[in-house]
Amino acid sequence: MSKQFKLPEDADLARADSLAREIFSDVANKWALLIIEAIGDGTRRFTELRASVDGISHKMLTQNLRLLERNGLVERFVHPTVPPRVDYTLTEPGRELRKTVDAMCAWTTRYLREIETARRSFDA
Amino acid sequence: MSKQFKLPEDADLARADSLAREIFSDVANKWALLIIEAIGDGTRRFTELRASVDGISHKMLTQNLRLLERNGLVERFVHPTVPPRVDYTLTEPGRELRKTVDAMCAWTTRYLREIETARRSFDA
DNA sequence: CAGTATCCCCAATGATACTG
DNA sequence: CAGTATCATTGGGGATACTG
């Protein structure tokens, strides 16, 4: 049985393990990863993200931004102006995670053709 | 607007782009990634995977294995025996993707505590 | 054992309307 | 503009039974 997460020898190892699974579930989803990628190394506003993450709904964006914020991957700056302006940036953990997302995107591009071919042969 | 996927200067760039999004959606989901991680560098049987991927249902396992097979990330060896025996292994693209999954798992472990802290402060 | 098929239902999601 | 709240819908996903 391969363990997905290497954990420190800890008294409550089981708790840490379940926490790891929980975090992984939060993070290993399409929208969260695409949002992280969209924020990138910049500062993005809500509307910018909405436009930049293709196909995401208003609700999904807020929901996932809250999730990312709660896990400390994204920082939220509310400008006390009217109309309101909110800027999102990645935190250090967020930036680190982004590196792996970058790798996943690169992987997708790299194997695009192979995958297309595999699909065609499978569908036949 | 940041583009998630860097694509070759291609006549039908748009098509490639939508394909990339599609593949990313297939791949950037919890179950697919955990299955890839569970297969690892070995040869795993259906039942082994079922036991190894915590919380996955019979249905989700078959479904995601088919998806991964269709995209050419896992290979399926059916032994013509009775009872049947089916072995799953990662293909080269699958092994490459696995590296990024490994990175994500490592990230999870690395930031476990920070995230836990962030959550607590957020929930307050 | 591995896989398909069926039923069924709850939760995830979209659409819409409203507020500071 | 950014966000919350509410409602309606659907399809994701579980449970179960059946087959080669």
Distance, CA of A121 to CA of B33 (rounded, Å): 23
Residues A67-72, mean pLDDT to the nearest whole number: 97
Closest nt by CA–C1' to B29: D12
Question: Does A87 reach chain B within 8 Å, measured CB to CB?
Answer: no
A12 pLDDT band, cuts 50/70/90, is: confident
Identify any residues that bridge with A90 across adjacent strands, giving them in sequence order: A74
Residue A4 within a domain: no
Residue in chain A closest to B111 (alpha carbons) equals A93
Please give the pLDDT value at position B5: 84
- Mean pLDDT (chain A, rounded): 92
Residue B7 within a domain: no
- pLDDT tens digits along B63-108: 999 999 999 999 999 999 999 999 999 999 999 999 999 999 999 9
Distance, CA of B69 to CA of B72 (rounded, Å): 5
- Cβ neighbours of residue A43 closer than 8 Å, sequence gap 6 or more: A77, A87, A88, A89
CB A115 to CB B71 under 8 A? yes
Q: Which nucleotides of D are covered by protein (CB under 7 A)?
A: 1-6, 13-17, 20
Residue A10 within a domain: no
- The answer to whether residue A112 scores a pLDDT higher than 70 is yes
Distance, CA of B39 to CA of B60 (rounded, Å): 15
Question: Does B7 reach chain A within 8 Å, measured CB to CB?
Answer: yes
- Mean pLDDT (chain B, rounded): 92
Residues A102-122, mean pLDDT to the nearest whole number: 96
- The answer to whether residue B25 scores a pLDDT higher than 70 is yes
- The answer to whether residue B47 scores a pLDDT higher than 80 is yes
CB B7 to CB A109 under 8 A? yes
Residues of chain A with C-beta less than 8 angstroms from the C-beta of B29: 28-30
Check residues A2 and B58 and name the one with the higher pLDDT: B58
Residue B41 within a domain: yes
- The answer to whether residue B1 scores a pLDDT higher than 50 is no
Question: Does B13 reach chain A within 8 Å, measured CB to CB?
Answer: no
Q: Tell me the nearest-neighbour CA distance from A77 into chain B, angstroms.
A: 14
User: Torsion angle, CA of A23/A28/A32/A33, rounded to 10 degrees?
Assistant: 130
Total domain count, chain B: 1
Residues A29-37, mean pLDDT to the nearest whole number: 96
Contact A101, B112 (CB under 8 A): no
Residue A9 within a domain: no
Residue A3 within a domain: no
- The answer to whether residue A63 scores a pLDDT higher than 80 is yes
The number of beta carbons lying within 10 Å of the beta carbon of residue A12 is 9
What CATH number should be reported for the domain holding residue A23?
1.10.10.10
- pTM tops 0.85, yes or no: yes
Please give the pLDDT value at position A16: 84
Residue B8 within a domain: no
A4 pLDDT band, cuts 50/70/90, is: confident
Per the structure, the complete domain to which residue B42 belongs is given by 16-123
Closest nt by CA–C1' to A46: D2
Residue A7 within a domain: no
Burial (Cβ within 10 Å: 0-12, 13-18, ≥19) of residue A84: exposed
